[in-house]
């Protein structure tokens, strides 16, 4: 092989290597799972409850991460290997000036199973809160996916007989984390806003009079389409029918006279219940400081064959201005078929 041939081969080799490098210019090397930080965040952007509620619950959780096995497309939670201390702040008070006037203290725990919490096992998460500054901290332990902070509130502070027009509540935010040998951070951008809901407005629990034949028939006409067990009810089967309007939507709860063993204590008998929920279709702010207005709900119900069908309910409500414990609710909807307009007369 002469020198020109050797030079040509050398140039060809260099050209091929350059082409290979150019072809891989946009290729990103995979990053190992260990290099992605575990993130601790507040679980919800907001919540609310009526004026005389005596506690506020705030969940803090670890975000899901990529599942290397590919079995969980939405990701999996990788619990911490060592506990960290998370700091937080309660701020942006609305409708009151001093945190200590409304919040009295708090505690923190995590669920061990459906019937047991860490408090039941005397596990201390070292919850602390300075009511003068609104700053505090809590331990996020190893091996768990989420914890819950429960603030004790003064149930009488906001409770009155006035339809309030000003917003009342506060914001809860995570602010930092203690040093850790793990790659873990807190998300300080997401915040939790708590609203005090006025029970002189539509918020709170309202009751259907099951002993009134007309009201009971109207109730079954409206909600019987969603659940066959509701459609087949007799008034003698029912202990209480409640419709609650809360922060996210409505909840229907039918408490039956029939009992069953409690799932956490088989020696205790509890009433069977039928429940149905629906989320608001509009803005919750539209329900503030008004005795009447429009309502819209929607939710999905899984069928026996596994299919999911959405239902909608929409209509009007009016609270009696003389007796604000009386509510007229007129709704119509759609679920598998049209649900004709029905009027219920509820009371608190």
Round to whole Å and give the CA distance between 193 and 45. 6
Is residue 9's pLDDT more than 50? no
Q: Which tens digit of pLDDT belongs to each residue from 231-282?
A: 999 999 999 999 999 999 999 999 999 999 999 999 999 999 999 999 999 8
Is residue 35's pLDDT more than 80? no
Cα dihedral across residues 12, 17, 20, 21: positive or negative: negative
Is residue 23's pLDDT more than 80? no
- Average pLDDT over all residues of the chain: 90
Round to whole Å and give the CA distance between 153 and 323. 28
Percent of the chain with pLDDT over 70: 89
- Is residue 304 within 8 A of residue 297, CB to CB? The reply is no
Q: How far is CA 332 from the centre of its chain?
A: 27
Is residue 112's pLDDT more than 90? yes
Specify the pLDDT at position 242. Answer: 98
Specify the pLDDT at position 34. Answer: 61
Q: Which two tokens stand for residue 54?
A: 């005596």
- Is residue 319 within 8 A of residue 327, CB to CB? The reply is yes
Specify the pLDDT at position 13. Answer: 45
Residue 124 phi, psi (nearest 5): -95, 120
Least trusted range by pLDDT, from 9-23, 168-182, 192-206, 234-248: 9-23
Local structure of 88: helix, strand or coil? strand
Is residue 123's pLDDT more than 60? yes
Placement of tokens 């119509």 in the chain: 332
CB count in 10 Å sphere of residue 331 = 22
- Is residue 326 within 8 A of residue 346, CB to CB? The reply is yes
Q: Which two tokens stand for residue 102?
A: 């409304």
Round to whole Å and give the CA distance between 168 and 288. 11
Round to whole Å and give the CA distance between 288 and 203. 9
Is residue 183's pLDDT more than 80? yes
178 vs 69 pLDDT, higher one: 178
The model's confidence at residue 21, banded by pLDDT at 50, 70 and 90, is low
Q: Which tens digit of pLDDT belongs to each residue from 138-173?
A: 999 999 999 999 999 999 999 999 999 999 999 999
Specify the pLDDT at position 209. Answer: 97
Specify the pLDDT at position 233. Answer: 96
48 vs 36 pLDDT, higher one: 48
Taking the model in full, what pTM does it have? 0.86
| Average of per-residue pLDDT across 106-115 | 97
Specify the pLDDT at position 6. Answer: 45
């Amino acid at each position: 092989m002469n020198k020109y041939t050797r030079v040509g081969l050398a140039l060809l080799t260099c050209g091929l290597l350059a082409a290979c490098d150019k072809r891989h210019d946009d290729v990103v090397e995979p990053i190992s799972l260990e290099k992605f930080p575990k993130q601790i965040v507040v679980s919800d952007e907001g919540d609310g409850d009526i004026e005389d509620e005596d506690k506020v619950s705030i969940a803090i959780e670890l975000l899901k991460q990529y599942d290397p096995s590919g079995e969980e497309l939405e990701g999996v939670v990788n619990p911490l290997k060592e506990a960290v201390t998370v700091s937080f702040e309660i701020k942006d008070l609305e409708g009151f000036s001093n945190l200590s006037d409304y919040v009295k203290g708090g505690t923190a725990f995590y669920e061990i199973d459906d019937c047991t919490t860490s408090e039941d096992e005397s596990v201390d998460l070292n919850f602390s809160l300075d009511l003068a500054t609104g700053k505090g901290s809590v331990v996020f332990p190893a091996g768990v996916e989420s914890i819950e902070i429960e603030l004790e509130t003064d149930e009488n502070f906001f409770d009155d007989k006035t339809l309030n027009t000003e917003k009342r509540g506060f914001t809860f935010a995570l602010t930092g984390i203690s040093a850790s040998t793990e790659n873990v951070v807190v998300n300080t951008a997401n915040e939790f806003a708590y609203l005090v809901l006025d029970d002189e407005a539509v918020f709170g629990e309202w009751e259907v009079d099951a002993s009134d034949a007309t009201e009971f028939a109207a109730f079954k006409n409206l909600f019987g389409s969603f659940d066959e067990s509701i459609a087949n009810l007799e008034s003698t089967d029912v202990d209480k029918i409640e419709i609650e309007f809360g922060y996210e939507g409505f909840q229907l709860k039918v408490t039956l006279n029939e009992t069953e063993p409690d799932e956490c204590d088989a020696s205790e008998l509890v009433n069977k219940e039928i429940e149905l929920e629906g989320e608001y279709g509009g803005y919750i702010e539209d329900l503030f400081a008004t005795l009447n207005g429009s309502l819209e709900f929607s939710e999905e119900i899984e069928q026996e064959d596994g299919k999911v069908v959405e239902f909608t309910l929409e209509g009007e409500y009016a609270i009696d201005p003389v007796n604000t414990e009386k509510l007229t609710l007129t709704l119509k909807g759609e679920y598998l078929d049209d649900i004709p307009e029905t009027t219920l007369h509820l009371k608190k």
